[in-house]
Amino acid sequence: MSEVSAPPRIALVTGSVPPAPCGVGDYTAHLAAGLADLGLDVQIVSGTRWGIFEYRRLADRLNALRPDIVHIQYPTIGYGLGLAPQTLAMLYSPAPVVVTVHEFTLAHPLRKLAVLAFAPRSALLIFVSDHERSAYVRASPAARHKSEVVKLASNIPFVNSGSRDEYRVVYFGRIAPRKGLEDFLHAARLAEGRRMPFQFEVIGTPDPGQLAYFTRLRDGSRDIPVVWTLGRPPEEVAALLATATYAYLPFPDGASERRASLLAALGNGALVLTTRGVYTPDELTGVTIFVKSPSAAVDQLNDMSGRADERRRLSDSAVQYARRFSWPEVARQHLALYRGVWATAPRSGYG
């Protein structure tokens, strides 16, 4: 890129790409499409080997592309425990390296150390929520002056629904531990015990390596009214969310802006029952219904079943809130950050 005003060439580095099940992989694909719509030359750099000794191979691939910015998405399922992304951030010099940190607060302590390794040499760190950035900066104060927040958009499109099933309650998200799915199934069991007319549906895909967990939950729920809808494409997921009246998303750490599944449900007009946590934004008050337990969720389902006007009001508020987060806006914010990095970050060039 000879001038700052010219569109930069971007290499997006990710361990997972669709159709592999990984939320960050989906995010990367959407970001690439949004940047391409702005006229940028975008290349996704992925693969299957991410050990520390793969750095040279990765650097050679990037050198062949000659990007103006190298942008790492981290973590992804595909990286596994590999440290090639960290090595790239520390050693690569022909172009500035930007890193988007998608998860820090909930990471295992060893994973946190791996994420903190990006801080010293990266030209810029991007976070998907204010609380993730704040937690990272507390652990690495030097990151304060080279970090920004670009909030998530939904990986699932938003569609209009002509009608909704009044008694349908959905869960949408990754099928993995610590995502709240056990509480959803417990609510289904409670509703069945009370002879309530609700039908519960799990929409998602089991994480790789979590098939035993998925099988245990599915087999344990055969005696309750739960439908498992797995591996559906984004457009079909959108239609399923848009025809459900309720979504119960009991995040163990509370609803927050880093939950793309929450945005997907809200943007498709589902009335979301969820949990409040220390990172839950005030703006979700009046947009969702906060519940503290599966029993409280079932009580709310019972209460809302006779209040059609209130359900419509909350559904409309949900859609308005979610539409503030769009991929074109995410791409525009990234372009502005790229220009700033290109104007100020040192680089050795490609010779």
Partnered with residue 11 across adjacent β-strands are: 43, 70
Query: How large is the C-alpha radius of gyration of the chain?
Result: 21
- Rounded to an integer, what distance in angstroms lies between the CA atom of residue 136 and that of residue 350? 32
The answer on pLDDT for 3 being more than 70 is no
In this structure, are strands 9-13 and 41-45 parallel, antiparallel, or unpaired? parallel
The answer on pLDDT for 173 being more than 80 is yes
Count of alpha carbons within 13 Å of 178, Cβ hemisphere only?
A: 4
The answer on pLDDT for 21 being more than 70 is yes
What is the pLDDT averaged over residues 230-257?
A: 95
State in Å, rounded, how far the first CA of the chain is from the last one.
14
Which tokens belong to 158?
A: 């938003």
Q: What is the pLDDT of residue 4?
A: 47
* Start and end residues for every CATH 3.40.50.2000 domain found in the chain: 9-153+326-344, 165-322
| pLDDT tens column, 176-220 | 998 999 999 999 999 999 999 999 999 999 988 899 999 999 999
Inter-CA distances, 230 with 25, 160, 327, Å: 18, 22, 25
Q: What is the pLDDT of residue 346?
A: 83
Which tokens belong to 242?
A: 């848009």
Does residue 193 contact residue 275 with C-beta atoms inside 8 Å? no
- Rounded to an integer, what distance in angstroms lies between the CA atom of residue 97 and that of residue 179? 31
Q: Which residues of 173-192 are buried (b: 16+ CB within 10 A; e: fewer)?
A: bbbbeebbbebbbbbbbbbb
- Rounded to an integer, what distance in angstroms lies between the CA atom of residue 50 and that of residue 70? 16
Q: Taking the model in full, what pTM does it have?
A: 0.84
Q: What is the pLDDT of residue 1?
A: 45
Pick the CATH number of 165-322 from 3.40.190.10, 3.40.50.1460, 3.40.50.2000, 3.40.50.300: 3.40.50.2000
Taking the C-alpha atoms of 174, 175, 176 and 179 in order, what is their torsion angle to the nearest 10 degrees?
A: 70
Mean pLDDT computed over every residue of the chain: 93
- Rounded to an integer, what distance in angstroms lies between the CA atom of residue 294 and that of residue 291? 8
Inter-CA distances, 332 with 213, 258, 283, 326, 338, Å: 39, 19, 23, 10, 10
Banded model confidence at residue 2, pLDDT cuts 50, 70, 90: very low
| pLDDT tens column, 57-72 | 999 999 999 999 999 9
The CATH superfamily of 9-153+326-344 is Glycogen Phosphorylase B; (3.40.50.2000)
Q: Is the N-terminal amide bond of 19 cis, ω within 30° of 0?
A: yes
- Rounded to an integer, what distance in angstroms lies between the CA atom of residue 6 and that of residue 91? 26
The answer on pLDDT for 116 being more than 80 is yes
Q: What is the pLDDT of residue 141?
A: 96
Q: 328 burial class (0-12, 13-18, 19+ CB within 10 angstroms)?
A: exposed
| pLDDT tens column, 286-309 | 899 999 999 999 999 999 988 999
